[in-house]
Amino acid sequence: MAVHRIVAVVVGGMVWLQMLAHAQLPCDVPSINQLLVYRIEDPSVYPPLSIYMPYDVLLGYVALDSLHRAPRPQGEQQVLALFQRQQTLTDTARKILRVYYAMADYNPILFQSAIMYMRGSANSPWVISSEIGKKLIPTIWKDTLQKQRLYRGLFTSDYILHVRVIDTIEFHTTYTEIVVSAEVLDVIKGQVLVPCGDEGLRQVSLPKPNAIGNLTLSNDPSRCILFSYSPNWFRYVGGDDIDWAFLNETEELGRILVPGTEAIVMLEFGVLCIGDSSVFYSLAPINIKNRPSERTSCGQGIYPVVDGIVQDPMDDFGFGTNLSVEQFKQRLRERIAEIRTW
């Protein structure tokens, strides 16, 4: 397989990550100014292949390894040039996005560890992966904001879940962080969940377990999820030029996830800092907005369920504004089934 063909596939396995300005080596865990932190170890074997993987997932990891071995920085340059040529949903773009989705859905934890394994490389996937969310999706679906939001949600989320909130705990610094303990009622994307405690996968752990030790967890560890959000996040506006001091309560997200409530959440790993053999992440709802002044239902990937109805008054994805939770999930699954045929 030619290098440019390999690169066309490997980009499909990249998640949209934004490296924070303070990310650095080495990582001092106690200094991370966040209550909920996940540590994901580098893969013990690279590429992390298994004969039990679905074909698209296996193909994606082989392609990631090919990018890692490609001449540097030509491999990265080829990927960026390939993206620039995808002005519509071409056959190449379909294949890229199909593999992208398959890898993240199969095991988001393995996916993160694999793309960050090459973080010191000139052909590192996490360097170019932001192009999918920032440029590829807005370019392909440039005619409608609803489709841009929908496909950003589907492709850049590590998890799409229907959850019931069990408990919350707040952490106050320069802003308020709320850690949510929830029972997973349904998995739409992300088939391997991060563990809620010490029991779980060897590759991922909670380096600050004592900080959230008082949270009540789901009785079933296999159906449990911990994630965080901030009630101070913008609901309708965004951008670095906004003065938080002048926000009124209607512009802030607020405490919309409280014990007993249900919601559809779209979650992504966000890099906090980087260690020698592991990376430290937050897990929080994605940003739904395409531009700072755009108005969406919550601004984030959080859709509360009230009396069985998904609260999406701005019709973020074009599904309608008064759908039952089952109808809303079915719309998502219909789009996912379509992606799998690309």
Confidence at residue 45, expressed as pLDDT on a 0 to 100 scale: 85
In the chain, which residues have pLDDT < 50?
A: 1-25, 237-242, 244
Confidence at residue 155, expressed as pLDDT on a 0 to 100 scale: 94
Question: Domain tally for the chain?
Answer: 2
Confidence at residue 240, expressed as pLDDT on a 0 to 100 scale: 46
101 and 171 within one domain: no
- Domain residues for the domain of 320 are 159-340
Confidence at residue 143, expressed as pLDDT on a 0 to 100 scale: 87
Q: Please name which of 304, 339, 281, 18 lies closest in space to residue 162, comparing C-alpha atoms.
A: 304
235 and 88 within one domain: no
- Classify residue 28: in a domain, yes or no: no
Confidence at residue 7, expressed as pLDDT on a 0 to 100 scale: 29
Given 103, 124, 150, which residue is the final one in a domain? Answer: 150
**What is the separation, in whole angstroms, between the first and last Cα of the chain?**
20
pTM: 0.87
62 and 182 within one domain: no
Q: Please name which of 127, 61, 175, 171 lies closest in space to residue 274, comparing C-alpha atoms.
A: 127
Given 150, 185, 216, which residue is the final one in a domain? Answer: 150
Q: Please report, for residues 2, 16, 47, 221, 277, the alpha-carbon distance to residue 158 in angstroms, rounded to integers and kept in the order given.
A: 30, 10, 20, 19, 21
pLDDT per residue over 179-201, tens digit each? 999 999 999 999 999 988 765 56
Residue at 8: amino acid letter: A
99 and 169 within one domain: no
Tokens representing 320 are 């309608």
Confidence at residue 24, expressed as pLDDT on a 0 to 100 scale: 44
- Other C-beta atoms closer than 10 Å to the C-beta of 94 total 16
Whether the CB-CB separation of 253 and 298 falls below 8 Å is answered with yes
Confidence at residue 295, expressed as pLDDT on a 0 to 100 scale: 77
